[in-house]
Chain A
Amino acid sequence: MVVTGLGAVTAIGRRVEEFWANLTEGVCGIRPVSLFDASSYRTQTAAEVSEIPDDFLSPGQRRRMSRADRMGIVAAAEALAASGLDLSREDPTRIGVILGGGTSGLLDSEDFYARHLAGRKARPSRVLNHLPDAITDRIAQHWSLEGIKSTITTACSSSANAMGYAFDAISSGLADVVITGGSDVLARLTYGGFNSLRSVDPEPCRPFDRERRGLSIGEAAGILVFEEAERARRRGAPVQAEFLGYGVTSDAFHMTAPDPSGAAGGRTIRAALASAGVDAERIDYVNAHGTATPQNDSAETAALKDALGERARRIPVSSIKSMIGHCLCASGAIEAVATVLTVREGTVPPTIHYENPDPACDLDYVPNAAREADVRVAMSNSFAFGGNSTVVVFGRA
């Protein structure tokens, strides 16, 4: 199965090209929060998308849609255009939409709830926008698609899982093409929630650094067009990369803490390698979950060593969350977009803000500057609250 289109809306680029240029330049998108008044929170920074290029939507459409809907539609439009699919000639029942979601348009629903709590009349039009399946339905609606629709809600691994579901749906013959990925935006709930757990760094996050103090929250839409390989080749599609396989497992350890031994994460990586049919020696790059919380980065390092053995020490591992923040339910998708571009372009994006080596994180994290590398097979890790772990594997086309 192959990837024939990519779309990205992030704090450092509202199109794939701009995103990639800034990613490889090491541009940081973490800035003061502007979407709501953050002055009473413990921290005040996040990786926000500054302006959503949604001019092609009518004013009425924009009014009905949440911020997450609009970002998702923009990224899907870019991905579909890149794929070269002529939807007017396709069977709409064979094209599906499978996304990951969670926070979604909660920001709107929070406004409704705040007014309701204050005893004021609240406009109902966008009250249900936070239900994450809305974006999936809207993308299908926008392009008149009639195939499988599904939304995975496994918190921070949602959109990675969605790609896995898309892969299984195409492999089993349920669909020919699936628009997959996710769109998730900043909201008071997640911002306040991670702050309440003291998991947010007041400064831009520093993955794998000894002085790391937590994550930076981000928002993004990342959309990928998955297509059955033979069909894509027949129509001369611009194949970006191959989706080789994925692993999805349960830590069964703790609701918020990762297994520090790395055994749980190691199981997910091994499941992904088995699904992709590659051994550890063939992995050339890891796009890490790398949230910059003290617990995640050391547990993830241990998991990489557990599953990849000596290979883990010989390959680049980087966290683009240092630039675009932790985009929560969209992080798996936007990081998959970056992983596909890494495979396609032969450039590894850096982990920025990296200064102090940590003995518990002793791999090559590509500090502060991008690097040329011959990446034939790459994997991307996503770990979530609940111990929902997913690893996806891409290969050069």
Chain B
Amino acid sequence: MSDDFLSRLHEEPRPEFAGRLDERLRQIGARGHDRRLVPASLRRGAPAFAGALLVGALGFAFTLEPVRAAAREFLDLFRVKRFAAVPVDPQRLARLAQSGLDLKTLVGEQVQVVVAPQPPVEVASPEAAAVDAGITARLPAVVPPGFEMAETKLSRAAEFRVRIDTAKLGALAEAAGADEIEIPAFWNGATIDVDVPAVVAVRYARAGEAGGGRRDDGYLLLQAAVPQVELPSGFDLATLGRLGLRLAGMSAEEALSFSRAIDWRTTLLVPVPVQGGTFREVEVGGRKGLMVIAQPTKVTLAEAAGPRPRPRAILLWSTDDEVFALQGPATNAGANVLEMAESVR
């Protein structure tokens, strides 16, 4: 059967169009590449920023959190300068748990709460919260039309002490099938103090909806002092990080390549469940930030029966002194959130 007739619709692109596009592509090539990151999703309503600072994925517990020296020999300094997304496969963690690995026990028994985290408390103003948090309040000059500041909350600092048990880390590595990772014996017994800084949260809601409104409609700006991590001399974050990446589901090769490529001393990993959504690197005030566009999952029966939640944009960035996260409805791929973030002064 001849299908020649179908080729008759074939056209050559107009030369002027081809020329324009060629020029445009050369400009893109000359300027460098935007970097759209991995599809992923965040849980709606979860304090993503706090989640990044707290123990988001157990495998990352030692590497992701702000850690302060608990002993005199803690010398190396970790300072967050950028963020990177790491997809975590919740089903894999569930399978590990079903196979008898109790991650919570393995890690939890090694964690001592020094200063317990408290529920966020409402405070009079961002400035008042910032004083308590030991930072300078920075607020957006640009707020989406119809929105106004609704409330400010402060999550006070918390502290944890983690004692490394190499036998249990070895068990984790075995469970993850990560027998290529060798846990140094001298780590055993080392303690790390985890210091979660106070977080100031400023919520913006539609005028007249300060106490309510749709959960996926408002904006939430979080800010905290830059987490700093002091590590024992000779402590290899990359090794521990690889273990976390393997638990999250990466292959040995992927975890090794990632581990080699990332600067563990300046990059805060953001563990994200592997689902729909996109990440991309953006610039906020000349600094690199991480934009996440996530389609929230429905979390309650009432919400499940309602309209599909709107995608959320979550933007993470840092300055010399502070780290920020801004959440809001994702309009134009998060352009609204980026514009608001750019105006934070």
Q: Do A and B come from one complex?
A: no
